[in-house]
Structure 1
Amino acid sequence: MIRLDDTDRAFLRALAEDATLSAGALGRRFGLSQPAAWRRVKRLHDEGVIRGRRLDLDHEALGFGVTVFLGVKLAAKGRVSLEDFERAVRAIPEVQLVHHVLGLYDYRLRVVARDLADFERILRRRIMTLPGAGEVEANVLLSEERRPGPI
């Protein structure tokens, strides 16, 4: 585990809010020169603390008004490999996240759809036909609130 000081944590909080901040902007905000800020950010990248930058899209604005969290239990009879299931589920463009979890279900999926009829089509034609797919539980997202992480 990498040691983080207060400035590292402040950088991470700022970048979590706006990943486009330049080293110069970070330096000005936290009282460092641009090269010193750049070295800190580079170290955080090199150490694996920062794994990349992501674009946060508004799904509703793009026509995807429904988000569903699925719990998927693999069928015991087929003895399908986890890799086969994961490879197949990653090929479904509407599946945003795939989490292999411990608990009642083997996987938790985040799925986006245009509407409930579109979600039903995705569920019937894509999710339920996955290799090894057994029991499925769906939870439709009503609202979402982002909470800052532990940094």
Structure 2
Amino acid sequence: MLDDTDRRILRHYQAEPDIAASDLAERAGVTPSTLTRRLERLRDKGILRGLCGVINWQALGWEVEVSLRVTLDKTQPRAFDEFIAAAREVSEVMEIQTFLGQTDVRLAVIARDMAHYQQLYRKRLLTLPHINDIEALMHVARVKDTEALPL
């Protein structure tokens, strides 16, 4: 699917996403026109999804991060859909993942402090529909955090 040139382009691009196209072409060993064609092809195939701004929420005063492992009442036919739709409406929910196994859904939640988290937990999270069981895991440290692929 990817050749060595594509891998070189992606390796340099993910290491420095704001690099100028001419510099990226030089580092990847291709002409600017070849780079443009290859980037367009990678976007068209859905491999390269684009650029985004990554905001350090901790630098903005959000100090608490919690993972909630949720087991849903699966006797309700629309439990997943209704739970996920409601969880999306909670602005402090940063990520929603679904699983096969004992845990059905994991929510990544941030809060300004413990008092904010407690209020959020009681008033917004525990009231989400179809919860059968919920387990909170308080984050202590992020040991590794990367989206870079080993290209």
Summarize the Cα distance change of 1:42–1:60 in structure 2 as closer, same or farther, 3 Å threshold: same
Moved segments of 4+, more than 6 Å: none
> Mind listing any 5+ residue stretches in structure 1 that lack a counterpart?
none
How many pairs does the alignment contain?
149
1:97 counterpart residue number: 95
Q: Deviations over 1:100-132 (max 9, x none)?
A: 111221101111111122111111111110111
Q: Deviations over 1:65-96 (max 9, x none)?
A: 11111101112465543211111101111101
Please give the TM-score of this superposition, normalised by the length of structure 2.
0.89
User: For the residues of structure 2 that align with 1:104 and 1:63, how far apart are their CA atoms?
Assistant: 34
- Kept in 2: contact 1:68–1:139 (CA 8 A): yes
User: For the residues of structure 2 that align with 1:121 and 1:103, how far apart are their CA atoms?
Assistant: 29
Q: 1:125 aligns with which of 116, 123, 144?
A: 123
Please give the TM-score of this superposition, normalised by the length of structure 1.
0.89
> Mind listing any 5+ residue stretches in structure 2 that lack a counterpart?
none
User: For the residues of structure 2 that align with 1:76 and 1:137, how far apart are their CA atoms?
Assistant: 17
2:31 counterpart residue number: 33
Summarize the Cα distance change of 1:31–1:44 in structure 2 as closer, same or farther, 3 Å threshold: same
1:56 counterpart residue number: 54
1:149 counterpart residue number: 149
Summarize the Cα distance change of 1:60–1:77 in structure 2 as closer, same or farther, 3 Å threshold: same
Q: Percent sequence identity over matched residues?
A: 34
**Cα RMSD after superposing both structures:** 1.7
Q: Which amino acid aligns with 2:145?
A: R
Shift of 1:54: 2.2
